[in-house]
Amino acid sequence: MLSSPSSLFFCAFLLFSSTGGRFSSVIFPSLSPALGEPLPLSLFFVAPNLLSMACSPGLLQRYAASPPGRKPRLLCAALFCCAFFYALAFLPGAASPYLQALLRCLSCLALAVVSSLTDSLCVSYCKVHPEKGYGAHRLYGAVSWAVMNPLLGYLADRSGGWGATVPFAFAAALLTAFAGRSVILETTPAAPDYEAVLEEDAAQVDTDGFEHVTNPDIGAPPPPPPEQTPRRALLALTASPALFAFTLAAFSLAAGMSIVEALSFSFFSSALGASPTLEGFTVVVTVLFEIPLFHFADRLLARFGAAPLQCVAMLSYAARVVGYTLVPRPWMILLLEPLHGVTYALGKTSSVEFVRLNADGAVGQGVMNAITGGAGPVVGLLAAGVIGQALGEHAVYRCFGGFVGACLVGLYCAQRAGPGAGGKRRRSDVVEVEMAETTF
């Protein structure tokens, strides 16, 4: 069980939640009061996304090109950096917003690498072990996300601070390192023993003294696949109008999701008066709807395809964020959180499938992560800061609901004009065994 992506996702999302997660917009203003206004807080979250967008694809390219023996060590280094730089933010002398921003940048860069690797490792594992698809493994990340967020909210209510998250971060990084190492070893194909094959072939000599060679090219290793680069992966993801429309839709949804992931808890507490415990339980409601969707992700992809699932995710997002601005009581946000589960589960599943079909590998997932975890949040958070400062927090959510809705219409029209961004697939196509092309 430890060598499966299910364990890796479970441990990785323990790390993601214990290094801030949805509580980041509450944690960091408590450490640095200068981050209490909408625009400074948005800029604080923009900087890590810019760095991740610029650096994570290149780091993942270097990871993919590294020898198999080094890959577990590189993953462990990223995990340690994530927890270590997060912990430094709690030091007594780290109240400067600039220092907080620097530490958050370094921690989030490591998080971006870990996030892309977990997705890529899961796709590679599913090629070797076709019994379960991506969604069936990914749902365990949703489970740990649901476990940790209410716990952290309760601890914050009881202790009046967020320092208790630091030991959880280091423990989660250690568990993720063990799980990640096991999955890397499980998905790394063994190198063929060409010398043994040559010796066996050379031993087959005819009685007349002539050597009998069944395959004269048996000693030649297979040619390596062409190296995937971030530029090639990006071109593959935007090679046609339908592909470009899907990538743009993923970008718009990421921009919209960034204000939910980074700023919604601040909005819940300041505008609606919600407590950290209630905020933590919103995640539980979300995950209750994520789990079945991740479980049936392969069937949904086989039945509908990636693009229709992305459309449903975007529609759910627009309805939810507009609803945030209309609820009169804090507890009523729980009624809208199931839509967040639909948005996240279907959006994540469709984007991973889209990359698998068009730019498979760690670099392809890294480029998509740079779009959905870098470019999208940068634009979203910058716009949220400007709109929030000028028009108020309610206007932020209404504007982004309209923006994502407009991109949804564009994706729908592009798919009607020329399908190609990820259509239906057979169950047998979910995880083809392609050992010669496996990255990990």
Q: Which CATH number among 1.10.1740.10, 1.10.579.10, 1.20.1250.20, 1.10.1040.10 corresponds to the domain 5-189+229-426? A: 1.20.1250.20
Better pLDDT: 159 or 286: 286
Better pLDDT: 404 or 364: 404
* Whole-angstrom distance, CA of residue 40 vs CA of residue 36: 7
pLDDT at 228: 66
What are the pLDDT digits (tens) for 303-337? Answer: 999 999 999 999 999 999 999 999 888 889 999 99
Tell which residue, 398, 395, 404, has the closest CA to residue 343. Answer: 404
What are the pLDDT digits (tens) for 88-122? Answer: 999 988 889 999 999 998 998 888 888 888 888 88
Provide CB contacts within 8 A for 398, sequence distance 6+. Answer: 321, 322, 325
AA identity, residue 407: C
Q: What is the pTM of this model?
A: 0.71
pLDDT at 49: 78
State both tokens at 160: 């009046």
DSSP character at residue 3: T
Average pLDDT across the chain, whole number: 81
Residues 291/339, Cβ–Cβ less than 8 Å = no
* Secondary structure (3-state) at 228: coil
What are the pLDDT digits (tens) for 119-140? Answer: 888 888 888 888 888 888 888 8
Q: Is residue 428's pLDDT more than 60?
A: no
Tell which residue, 274, 17, 72, 88, has the closest CA to residue 188. Answer: 72
